[in-house]
Structure 1
Amino acid sequence: MSVFTAHTAETAPAAARRAVETVRGRFGWLPTPVALMAESPQLLAGFLTASAGFDQTALTPLEREVVILTVSTSNECHFCVALHTGKLTQLDADTELINALRAGTVLPEPRLEALRRFTLAMLDHRGAVPDDELDDFLTAGYQPRHALDVVLGIGAYTLSTFANRLTRAPLDPPLAAHAWQPAA
């Protein structure tokens, strides 16, 4: 049973219409999670603002995708995993890296693995990361700023993954090639 409406630009609350149009223009289609989030213009605006801010952090595009996929698999968001698998593919990320991120296993590149482990530590300890885990992150070549950038990524994509799971957002056909389900 779904009580949530997948809006269009025409049916969305007035405060969400511009955001819906912008996303549709960027993708060439309206992702169902955005259509569903439009029911709450503030949620949609908050997610889009936070994710745009995350895109401006000191983390590279590949590093940002490591954070996003780590959050998405941890929160079991099938839509986010599929969408961001596509983004990794567009970045020409190595198949071994993509598969490891989707499976939640050790990444082949040590620096990216340190980022994945730090992201997991942030989630596991709700921000109170033990000193040794923060030290491991910094020893891998990251700076204190990067740790705070990870906080932003976790916040943005926790909004998205929770909303997608609550609304039971279906996987859109353009993402079918990257479909994902959590391990049982």
Structure 2
Amino acid sequence: MQRFQTLTTETAPTESRPLLEAVQQKFGKVPNLLGSLANSPAGLQAFLSISGALESSGLSPAFLEQVAITVAQENQCQYCLSAHTAIAKMQGVSDADILKARSGTASDAKEAAGLAFALKIVQSRGRVSDEDIATVRSAGYSDSEIGAIGTAVVKDIFTNYMNHVMGTPIDWPVVDLEIPVNA
């Protein structure tokens, strides 16, 4: 059930308008998540700032989408699962790896370790162990990349929770939260 109005560049608070205009120019549309977040200029700015910073993190856009899928599945956020599944496909992630990401794994061993670590962050509420850090390091991730995975997880938790709060209508091809058994 939608709880927050989905705003546009014309209806958003003055502080949110230039942010939505930049999104419109970059992507050709304003997704409902961002239109809903625009009700809080601070919330919209926070999301866009973290997202922008992650673009130069050294992690690939495709991998960041897989992280978002892992986190959305764990947090049962259908909006984010649907959005990031569609975006991952645009990034060239295979259907098989999209499905694997929903369980926190991947075909590539390094990506699998990164996604397992992302899932561990969510499940432990950030209280990962020394062993968890050692495992992700041994898979080939630098401390900078491990920090970026953590940052991506926090950004994704933020959007998952805000979608739950706002009741954001899904404007992507809808993905069922139940993982297919025979996939």
Query: Within 2, Cα distance between the matches of 1:139 and 1:6?
Result: 44
Query: Within 1, Cα distance between the matches of 2:114 and 2:131?
Result: 14
For the pair 1:130 / 2:129, whether they are aligned, the reply is yes
Query: Within 1, Cα distance between the matches of 2:86 and 2:3?
Result: 29
Query: Within 2, Cα distance between the matches of 1:48 and 1:105?
Result: 25
Query: Within 1, Cα distance between the matches of 2:93 and 2:123?
Result: 27
Q: How far did residue 141 of structure 1 move?
A: 0.8
- The AA in structure 2 aligned to 1:130 is S
The Cα offsets for residues 120-149 of structure 1, whole Å up to 9 and x where unpaired, read as 111222222112221111111111111111
Query: Within 2, Cα distance between the matches of 1:108 and 1:69?
Result: 15
Runs ≥4 residues deviating over 6 A: none
Q: How far did residue 62 of structure 1 move?
A: 2.3
SS in 1 for 2:15: helix
Query: Within 2, Cα distance between the matches of 1:182 and 1:167?
Result: 18
Structure 1: stretches of 5+ with no match in the other structure: none
Q: 2:178 aligns with which of 169, 178, 183?
A: 183
- The AA in structure 2 aligned to 1:183 is E
Question: What is the match of residue 23 of structure 1?
Answer: 23
The TM-score with structure 1 as length reference comes to 0.89
Task: From the two aligned structures, give the one with the greater helix fraction.
Answer: 1
Q: How far did residue 2 of structure 1 move?
A: 4.2
SS in 1 for 2:11: coil
* Cα distance change of structure 1 residues 133 and 3 upon mapping to structure 2, 3 Å threshold: closer
* Cα distance change of structure 1 residues 170 and 109 upon mapping to structure 2, 3 Å threshold: same
The Cα offsets for residues 53-81 of structure 1, whole Å up to 9 and x where unpaired, read as 11210212222222221112112221222
* Cα distance change of structure 1 residues 70 and 154 upon mapping to structure 2, 3 Å threshold: same
SS in 1 for 2:16: helix
Question: What is the match of residue 141 of structure 1?
Answer: 140
The TM-score with structure 2 as length reference comes to 0.89
| Percent of residue pairs identical | 26
Q: CA RMSD in A?
A: 1.7
Query: Within 1, Cα distance between the matches of 2:19 and 2:146?
Result: 29
Structure 2: stretches of 5+ with no match in the other structure: none
Q: How far did residue 105 of structure 1 move?
A: 5.6
* Cα distance change of structure 1 residues 53 and 91 upon mapping to structure 2, 3 Å threshold: same
Q: How far did residue 43 of structure 1 move?
A: 0.2
Aligned residues: 179
